[in-house]
Amino acid sequence: MKILTLADQEIDSLYSPALQLYAGGVECVLACGDLPIDYLEYILTVLGRPLYYVHGNHAQSRVDRATGSLSENIEGAVNIHGKYVNQRGLLIAGLEGCLRYRSGNHQYTDEEMSYKATLLAVRLLRNRVRYGRALDILITHAPPYGIHDQDTNTHRGFRAYLPFMRFVKPRYLVHGHTHIYRNDLPRRTMYHETQVINTYGYQILELELPGEAKTEADASAGPRS
């Protein structure tokens, strides 16, 4: 199973007819924030695959044609901040935003994010009984504290993500927010059982589903003859 993950920077080759060459056949698209709405809607439309996202601290807004008010929604995509989805057996959850450094939306103190991460972790616990694991992928905008982050107010990671990873044990935490300007900066770092990936620009994840994973429809359909 291939998954396209995105954050922070528009990639010209994806925002073009060549998108199918790079990302054709992906199971879904995961967007980790700070990307233009039009860019994400182009990718969603051309690939025709589900797009799940969280907002970053530089979320765009535009006038919604239906309501006439400003909206940050990406049409046809699903905002999974504080929620999880089951994408054909793949368990994906999201937490938006970054550490608060000024007034504005989608910014939280460590305590606020700790509360949100704990609520999400508790909701994911029942997946251990049902699927044998709580979560496959957590998408976030900000990185965890001490991993791919920077020692500045704007780019310091959330401490709350560290106990979340130790407790929930997702296979991946995919984030954006910290830009990669040099090739020697790490993109992938293991933390306990979780691979932390900075998807600045884009990355393609290739993973196999655990054998016991079933979609909710499969689980209720019973054995096939």
Which CB atom, from 32 or from 137, has the smaller least distance to Zn ion? 32
* Shortest Å, Cβ 57 to Zn ion: 5
* Shortest Å, Cβ 152 to Zn ion: 12
The position carrying tokens 């919604």 is: 64
Which CB atom, from 136 or from 148, has the smaller least distance to Zn ion? 148
Q: Is 130 left (phi over 0), alpha (psi -120 to 50) or beta?
A: alpha
CA 154 to CA 166: how far, in whole Å?
25
CA 9 to CA 95: how far, in whole Å?
19
* Shortest Å, Cβ 131 to Zn ion: 31
Which CB atom, from 9 or from 114, has the smaller least distance to Zn ion? 9
Which CB atom, from 127 or from 178, has the smaller least distance to Zn ion? 178
* Shortest Å, Cβ 150 to Zn ion: 12
Q: Which of 124, 127, 105, 38 is nearest to 77 (CA)?
A: 38
Q: Applying CB under 5 A, which residues contact Zn ion?
A: 34, 56-57, 177
